[in-house]
């Protein structure tokens, strides 16, 4: 049979004719001796991207998809297409049955519509990673008819929400509008539209979601895999084990926590904050822990007492969640481990009355280093005993609390950032840009967790509503590949917001929809960039499937400064936190020591390689809390620039040297004080 089919294709491809005739028989069309090209006027096309032979006649399209087998022969032929798998006719109705051959005659169901018939190891789409983002991607594409393989790294799906026990959601709203709709909202409905949920219920949801799709194959607990890449095109994924197995697909979606598929495929990436020249530095990781025996009603009284004693009104409690006690934790808790800290408690209530606490910060952990992660888990488990003992001294509700378990995996906030066709910057989030190729929306605060014992982390700002562009999930260099989740092409600072799971689930869902578009229209994900018809079609489908995208809106300036370029540059370097009120203090007078410290923080992040200790010695006498004046600013900048300062005329000297050239309408008088916004411009001009 194979020989006959291969012979038939060969004749069609190379113009070799034989006689065929056609007859209708029991809803089957059989083809026998007559010239096929004359009978059907068939146009033959080989799709080099998919390996599909397309036979086109008028409004009918026959697809002959060929299986792939790698062979090595002396004639240097390293690719052999074989095993014709099926035919697809575009007709009026769907008739069951497959093409078959009897006595050298090819039979086809008349007017049949088929999806591609695949080999057992061939799929339309492979999704690697069973994080919520990956499940959303797999399910969205399966719902549209694709044959999908979902490869999970854990025993069950749900990733961070299940195995990391992160049971309090980072919600994204604009007013009363939920920005993360679609499959995430299905999850939100399933857990009762509460912001904290039962982990077992979450796991059940993801399993039910996967099992509801008959054309979605789920393989769990896969620890070792590698992408199959040929000539800068990903062809599939190889699962390694007792017997290695290769699975092929037209599109692969990398939904792993760390962008593993992209990294293994050779796509460039950076780790942590390396994009802003901060090396070997990572946001703290967290070991979530479970407590039993906590009195929830009494916990409400503890929250009220905390608010009264500290005045911290950015705290509270509802039926399922608590966010409080930050001032009691940061200031008063003494860790056993010097590389750990306790921040304010984020508490999520489970159905059985136990609570999960996200608060322990473990510093200096490279999430890509297996040994470092395992060590952090062990040290964290020991620290939790000390944390509970401390909390019992502060919270009456914890009097009978007992440790009931810890998460199976750490909450690792960042590792790799894969480089894509576009990198989203934090200024764009706060400006509320609605991109023409938007595929998701969010509004979560840009939360930069602590990276060392010397800082407590900070909030860059709180967006009203931002969008994520399609371009940011298309990795550089390798075709037919998407990247979703926290490892996608977002700057390390912007990822402080975009990394949250609800936003990632929408991105994953839309990536699944985009994959279907790419396959149906025979284009690569990269080809879609800049094509408004393609983007509009993807956006329309996403909304029809229950998703949400905001309407185009006027871009708003983040802060009211006339030195906006300098401001956004420093903001994107993660240096100007506006907090929860987006107050950047542009009109406040800056102190001398704050000015100098900002210079030394900006320098390395702008890639300026100088001996900071030697420079610091030059301006040591200026490290005071005195208000900065033009005279003192001039002296500081001139000394740092290696110039001799001419006494009281330093501000005139600086003016002539061009150090004030970027200022707009300022009264440059020696004793006049300098505001933050002027300082931003002076530093930007001095260092750029």
Return the percentage of the chain with pLDDT > 70, whole number: 82
The pLDDT assigned to 456 comes to 82
Same domain flag for 465 and 551: yes
Same domain flag for 315 and 293: yes
**Under a CB-based contact definition with an 8 Å cutoff, are residues 153 and 261 in contact?**
no
Same domain flag for 544 and 457: yes
pLDDT at 15 over 50: no
Mean pLDDT, rounded, for 256-275? 97
CA–CA separation, 618 and 641 (whole Å) = 10
Same domain flag for 169 and 101: no
**Residue 445, SS3?**
coil
**Under a CB-based contact definition with an 8 Å cutoff, are residues 88 and 61 in contact?**
yes
The pLDDT assigned to 29 comes to 36
The pLDDT assigned to 519 comes to 94
Mean pLDDT, rounded, for 333-342? 96
CA–CA separation, 385 and 382 (whole Å) = 6
pLDDT band for 656, please (50, 70, 90 cuts): confident
Same domain flag for 172 and 93: no
pLDDT at 329 over 90: yes
Q: Is residue 596 part of a domain?
A: yes
Q: Which of 369, 403, 437 is the C-terminal boundary of a domain?
A: 403
Of 85-89, 285-289, 587-591, minimum mean pLDDT range: 85-89
Q: Is residue 580 part of a domain?
A: yes
Same domain flag for 368 and 501: no
CA–CA separation, 495 and 442 (whole Å) = 12
pLDDT at 50 over 90: no
Q: Is residue 62 part of a domain?
A: yes
Mean pLDDT, rounded, for 51-75? 35
The pLDDT assigned to 263 comes to 98
Residue 370 tokens read as 């297996």
Question: What are the tens digits of pLDDT across the range 166-184?
Answer: 999 999 999 999 999 999 9
Which residues have a Cβ under 8 Å from the Cβ of 147 and sit 6 or more positions away? 115, 116, 118, 122, 123, 124, 125, 215, 217
Same domain flag for 293 and 274: no
Q: Is residue 356 part of a domain?
A: yes
CA angle 115, 116, 119 (to 5 degrees): 135
The pLDDT assigned to 242 comes to 67
Does 586 or 19 have the greater pLDDT score?
A: 586
CA–CA separation, 244 and 547 (whole Å) = 38
Question: What are the tens digits of pLDDT across the range 512-563?
Answer: 999 999 999 999 999 999 999 999 999 999 999 999 999 887 778 899 999 9
Same domain flag for 265 and 144: yes
Which residues have a Cβ under 8 Å from the Cβ of 126 and sit 6 or more positions away? 148, 149, 150, 151, 236, 237, 247, 249, 251, 252, 253
pLDDT band for 119, please (50, 70, 90 cuts): low
pLDDT band for 28, please (50, 70, 90 cuts): very low
Mean pLDDT, rounded, for 64-84? 27
- Most confident among 54-68, 102-116, 598-612 (mean pLDDT): 598-612
Same domain flag for 168 and 187: yes
**Structural domain that includes position 388:** 289-403
pLDDT band for 611, please (50, 70, 90 cuts): confident
CA–CA separation, 148 and 123 (whole Å) = 6
Which residue, among 550, 539, 549, 480, has the nearest Cα to 513 in the 3D structure? 539
Same domain flag for 568 and 675: yes
pLDDT band for 629, please (50, 70, 90 cuts): very high
What does 328-395 look like in DSSP terms, one character per residue? Answer: HHHHH---SSTTEEEEEEEEEE-TTS-EEEEEEEE-S--TT-HHHHHHHHHHHHHHHHHHHHHHHHH-
Split into its structural domains, the chain has a count of: 4
CA atoms within 13 A on the CB side of 490: 30
The pLDDT assigned to 60 comes to 41
CA–CA separation, 559 and 233 (whole Å) = 44
CA 403 to chain centre: 33
Would you say the pTM of this structure is higher than 0.85?
no
**Residue 93, SS3?**
coil
The per-residue pLDDT of the chain, averaged, comes to: 84
Which residues have a Cβ under 8 Å from the Cβ of 476 and sit 6 or more positions away? 267, 268, 419, 420, 421
CA–CA separation, 135 and 345 (whole Å) = 29
Q: Is residue 114 part of a domain?
A: no
Q: Is residue 459 part of a domain?
A: yes
Mean pLDDT, rounded, for 435-452? 95
Question: How many residues does this entry show for the chain?
Answer: 688
Residue 650 tokens read as 């330093």
pLDDT at 10 over 50: no
**What percent helix, strand, coil does the chain show, rounded to 5?**
35, 25, 45
CA 356 to chain centre: 25
Question: What are the tens digits of pLDDT across the range 429-441?
Answer: 999 999 999 999 9
CA–CA separation, 656 and 674 (whole Å) = 19
The pLDDT assigned to 80 comes to 23
Q: Which residue has the tokens 């995430």?
A: 184
The pLDDT assigned to 244 comes to 83
Q: Which of 109, 133, 164 is the C-terminal boundary of a domain?
A: 109
Q: Is residue 408 part of a domain?
A: no
Same domain flag for 276 and 331: no
Instruction: Render the burial of 574-599: b for 16+ CB within 10 Å, e for the rest.
Output: bbbbbeeebebebeeebbbeebbebb
Same domain flag for 433 and 569: no
pLDDT at 65 over 50: no
Q: Is residue 381 part of a domain?
A: yes
Q: Which of 379, 403, 427 is the C-terminal boundary of a domain?
A: 403
Does 511 or 119 have the greater pLDDT score?
A: 511
């Amino acid at each position: 049979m194979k020989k006959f089919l291969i012979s038939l294709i060969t004749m069609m491809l190379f113009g070799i004719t034989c006689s065929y005739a056609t007859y209708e028989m029991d809803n089957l069309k059989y083809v026998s001796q007559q010239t096929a090209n004359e009978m059907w006027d068939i146009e033959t096309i080989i799709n080099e991207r998919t390996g599909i032979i397309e036979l086109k006649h008028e409004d009918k399209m026959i697809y002959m998809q060929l299986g792939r087998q790698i062979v090595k022969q002396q004639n240097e032929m390293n690719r052999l297409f074989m095993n014709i798998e099926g035919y697809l006719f575009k007709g009026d109705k769907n008739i069951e049955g497959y093409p078959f051959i009897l006595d050298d005659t090819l039979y086809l169901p008349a007017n049949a519509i088929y999806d591609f018939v695949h080999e057992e190891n061939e799929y339309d789409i492979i999704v690697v990673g069973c994080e919520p983002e990956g499940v959303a991607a797999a399910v969205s594409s399966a719902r549209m008819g694709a044959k999908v393989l979902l490869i999970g790294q854990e025993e069950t799906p749900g990733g961070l929400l299940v195995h990391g026990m992160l049971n309090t959601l980072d919600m994204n709203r604009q007013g009363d509008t939920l920005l993360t709709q679609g499959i995430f909202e299905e999850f939100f409905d399933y857990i009762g539209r509460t912001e904290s949920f039962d982990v077992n219920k979450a796991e059940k949801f993801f399993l039910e979601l996967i099992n509801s799709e008959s054309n979605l194959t789920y393989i769990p607990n896969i620890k070792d895999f590698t992408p199959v890449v040929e000539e800068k095109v990903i062809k599939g994924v190889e699962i390694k084990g007792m017997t290695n197995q290769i699975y092929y697909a037209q599109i692969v979606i990398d939904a792993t926590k760390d962008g593993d598929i992209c990294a293994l495929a050779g796509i460039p990436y950076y780790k942590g904050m390396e994009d802003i020249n901060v090396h070997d530095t990572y946001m703290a990781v967290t070991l979530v822990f479970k407590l039993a025996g906590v009195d929830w009603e009494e916990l409400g009284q503890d929250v009220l007492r905390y608010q009264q004693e500290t005045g911290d009104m950015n705290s509270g409690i509802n039926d399922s969640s608590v966010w409080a006690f930050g001032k009691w934790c940061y200031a008063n808790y003494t860790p056993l481990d010097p590389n750990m800290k306790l921040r304010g408690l984020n508490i999520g209530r489970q159905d059985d009355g136990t609570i999960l606490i996200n608060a322990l910060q473990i510093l200096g952990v490279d999430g890509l280093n297996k040994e470092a992660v395992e060590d952090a888990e062990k040290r964290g488990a020991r620290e939790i005993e000390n944390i509970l003992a401390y909390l019992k001294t502060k919270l009456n509700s914890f009097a009978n609390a007992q440790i009931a378990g810890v998460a199976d995996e750490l909450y690792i906030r960042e590792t790799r950032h894969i480089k894509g066709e576009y990198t989203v910057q934090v200024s764009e989030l706060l400006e509320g840009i609605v991109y023409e190729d938007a595929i998701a929306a969010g509004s979560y605060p840009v939360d930069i967790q602590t990276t060392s014992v010397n800082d407590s982390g900070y909030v860059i700002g709180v967006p009203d509503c931002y969008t994520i562009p399609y371009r940011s999930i298309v990795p550089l260099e390798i075709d037919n590949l998407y990247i979703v989740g926290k490892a996608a092409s977002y700057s390390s600072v912007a990822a402080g917001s975009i990394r949250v799971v609800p936003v990632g689930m929408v991105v994953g869902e839309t990536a699944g929809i985009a994959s279907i578009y790419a396959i149906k229209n025979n284009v690569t994900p990269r080809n879609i960039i800049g094509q408004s018809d393609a983007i509009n079609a993807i956006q329309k489908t996403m909304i029809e499937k229950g998703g949400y995208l905001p309407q185009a809106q006027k871009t708003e300036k983040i802060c009211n400064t006339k030195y906006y370029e300098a401001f956004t540059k420093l903001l994107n370097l993660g240096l100007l936190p506006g907090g929860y009120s987006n107050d950047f203090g542009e009109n406040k007078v800056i102190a001398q020591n704050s000015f100098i410290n900002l210079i030394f923080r900006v320098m390395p992040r702008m890639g300026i390689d100088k001996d900071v200790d030697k420079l610091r010695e030059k301006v040591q006498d200026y490290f005071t809390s005195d208000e900065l004046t033009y005279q003192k600013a001039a002296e500081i900048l001139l000394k740092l620039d290696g110039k001799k300062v001419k006494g009281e005329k330093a501000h005139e000297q600086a003016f002539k040297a061009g150090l004030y050239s970027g200022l707009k309408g300022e009264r440059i008088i020696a004793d006049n004080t300098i505001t933050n916004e002027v300082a931003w411009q002076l530093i930007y001009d001095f260092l750029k």
